[in-house]
Amino acid sequence: NFGDTPEARDIAHHFHGYTNARRHQEIGPMIIERGEGIHVFDNAGKRYIEGMSGLWSVGVGFNEPRLLKALSDQAAKLPYYHNFGHKSHGPAIDLADQLVEIAPVPMSKVFFTNSGSEANDTVLKMVWYRANALGKPGKRKVISRHRGYHGVTIAAASLTGLPYNHRSFDLPLPGIFHTMAPHYWKDGRDGESEEQFATRCAEELEALIQREGADTIAAFWAEPVMGAGGVVVPPKTYFEKIQAVLAKHDILFVADEVICGFGRTGEMFGSTTYDIRPDVMVLSKQITSSYVPFSAIVMNDRFFDPIADESNSIGTFGHGYTGGGHPLGAAVALENLAVIRERGLVENAREVGAHLRARLATLADSPLVGEVRGVGLIAAMELVNDKATKSVTTVSQLGGMMNVAMQRNGLISRNMGDTVAFCPPLILTKAQADEIFEITAKSLREVEAAV
Ligand code: PLP
């Protein structure tokens, strides 16, 4: 019973995503009031390290004055305009320019959307439109991966490869298929090397393409590092082998850089880290450090040209959003990018990330830690009850216990089942990384004592 408190009113009227309403009533909300650097403070004044950057997204920290100034300056000048038809505005033009400039491979066009989900839905519609424009309407099926996360709108949820995003919604849509996740530690066979496992992943993709017919498959979707599916870092040679299969069958590569983009992997894009040559990149979250909802689709000529070709004459590209390229989001994104560059936050993610991961790796001695993995400033610790069989006795129990302990000890984390994720802001210092480690180690000891 929370009485007449913000907690009670939250329970009464606020329907949260990704929770069970009855459990929310029992546990009660955690109400965050303000943010400062890598920290947030709840309504009792308790300070937490935001070890997940909110939702993998607040790269520059929770009160960056330069972003706030860019936001208010733009709001004073032009708080809203759109980009339908031939209308445009400065922030969208400048940002499109810069995204093309910093793209890891030659790109030429940018389409603006509001969220990662909408961006992925939009790319699928572009894939379909392009297939029609090319006179190959049958080449419109797409493949993503089990454990992949691409959002929750109808196409994006279909691309997502997690059961709870499909169950109860009658998804995925027809024509969207999933191939195996590259989770080597979990799914590698006894004696199988990383390279052999990667070959098996590519062979499974090839088999799926053969089964469906190569002339029916238009695109393949992948996060460079899977986030919500458990921070799955690709094994050696994985993307090289996957891209060879795609090239053979003239299948487009859509890189969902919603988490990886803007420095997370220790490069500006995850595609650079893994030598991915995408035709399309989906960007969101860290593009504005999530101060404003915003997303962008960056595409190359191979993808765009058939869409633009008037000789195909299928008419207007009948798609766009009221908020697409929103001047507030675009202005914040430009400043965010300037902050990332001027402060060397990509390099910082690489250096401090390596330090954090090295310290977390020392916890692998624990009887409960199956694997510590990561790249740049994104990491995970996968917990097990039995290291030999990599098994857990009750799904989510260890991860959930660890999450609760870490939060009690002042570190906000996130558990995906028994995988505990770390994705702190890119501004993290080594001393703060040490603090994350200390809290994690202490929490782990508490969980060890409790099981
Ligand atoms: N793609 C990836 C890789 C994501 O991690 C997410 C969100 O977590 C999305 C897409 C969906 O983004 P949004 O929640 O903004 O719709």
**Residue having the nearest C-alpha atom to atom 3 of ligand 1:** 258
Percent pLDDT > 90 in the chain is 92
Distance 296 CA to ligand 1 centre (A): 12
Ligand 1 atom at minimal distance to the Cα of residue 227: 5
DSSP 8-state code for residue 19: S
Q: What is the pLDDT of residue 7?
A: 94
pLDDT band at 395 (very low <50, low <70, confident <90, very high): low
Distance 150 CA to ligand 1 centre (A): 5
How does the average pLDDT of the chain come out, rounded?
96
Residue 396, pLDDT > 90, answer no
Residue 161, pLDDT > 80, answer yes
**Residue having the nearest C-alpha atom to atom 13 of ligand 1:** 116
Entry pTM:
0.97
Ligand 1 atom at minimal distance to the Cα of residue 223: 3
How many Å apart are CA 306 and CA 317, to the nearest integer? Answer: 12
Comparing CA positions, the residue from 328, 266, 269, 330 lying closest to residue 296 is 330
Q: What is the pLDDT of residue 309?
A: 81
How many Å apart are CA 336 and CA 181, to the nearest integer? Answer: 32
Mean pLDDT of 130-157: 97
The ipTM is 0.99
**Residue having the nearest C-alpha atom to atom 1 of ligand 1:** 150
Distance 116 CA to ligand 1 centre (A): 4
Distance linking the first and last C-alpha atoms of the chain: 29
- 243-255 tens-digit pLDDT: 999 999 999 999 9
154 vs 168, higher pLDDT: 154
Q: What is the pLDDT of residue 3?
A: 79
Strand order in 414-416's β-sheet? 369-375, 378-383, 419-422, 414-416
- 288-330 tens-digit pLDDT: 999 999 999 999 999 999 998 877 667 789 999 999 999 999 9
Q: Which residue has the tokens 């090397």?
A: 193
How many Å apart are CA 398 and CA 418, to the nearest integer? Answer: 6
Ligand 1 atom at minimal distance to the Cα of residue 295: 15
- 165-180 tens-digit pLDDT: 999 899 999 999 999 9
Residue 394, pLDDT > 80, answer no
Distance 365 CA to ligand 1 centre (A): 33
- 188-208 tens-digit pLDDT: 999 999 999 999 999 999 999
Q: Hey, which of 259, 287, 289, 295 would you mutate to test ligand 1's pocket, going by the most ligand atoms within 8 Å of its Cβ?
A: 259
Distance 149 CA to ligand 1 centre (A): 7
Ligand 1 atom at minimal distance to the Cα of residue 260: 3
Comparing CA positions, the residue from 372, 18, 16, 374 lying closest to residue 162 is 18
| SS3 of residue 235 by DSSP | coil
Q: Hey, which of 159, 258, 321 would you mutate to test ligand 1's pocket, going by the most ligand atoms within 8 Å of its Cβ?
A: 258
DSSP states of 172-214 as a string?
SPTTEEEE----HHHHPPTT--HHHHHHHHHHHHHHHHHHH-G
Give the count of beta carbons closer than 10 Å to the beta carbon of residue 344.
Answer: 13
Q: What is the pLDDT of residue 115?
A: 98
Q: What is the pLDDT of residue 1?
A: 64
Q: What is the pLDDT of residue 21?
A: 85
Residue 79, pLDDT > 70, answer yes
| Ligand 1 binding pocket, CB closer than 6 Å | 55, 115-117, 120, 149-151, 223, 227-228, 256, 258-259, 284
- 221-245 tens-digit pLDDT: 999 999 999 999 999 999 999 999 9
How many Å apart are CA 423 and CA 348, to the nearest integer? Answer: 13
Q: Hey, which of 16, 145, 149 would you mutate to test ligand 1's pocket, going by the most ligand atoms within 8 Å of its Cβ?
A: 149
Architecture of domain 67-342: 3-Layer(aba) Sandwich (3.40)
Q: Which amino acid is at 110?
A: V
Comparing CA positions, the residue from 143, 174, 170 lying closest to residue 159 is 143
Q: What is the pLDDT of residue 313?
A: 65
Q: Domain boundaries in the chain?
A: 31-63+344-450, 67-342
What phi, psi does 266 have (nearest 5°)? 90, 0
Which top CATH class is 31-63+344-450? alpha beta
Distance 396 CA to ligand 1 centre (A): 22
Q: What is the pLDDT of residue 402?
A: 97
Looking at the DSSP assignment, which residues form a beta bridge with residue 42? 32
Q: Hey, which of 150, 260, 269 would you mutate to test ligand 1's pocket, going by the most ligand atoms within 8 Å of its Cβ?
A: 150
pLDDT band at 89 (very low <50, low <70, confident <90, very high): very high
Percent pLDDT > 70 in the chain is 99
39 vs 311, higher pLDDT: 39
Looking at the DSSP assignment, which residues form a beta bridge with residue 252? 219
How many Å apart are CA 272 and CA 284, to the nearest integer? Answer: 17
Comparing CA positions, the residue from 410, 364, 417, 398 lying closest to residue 228 is 417
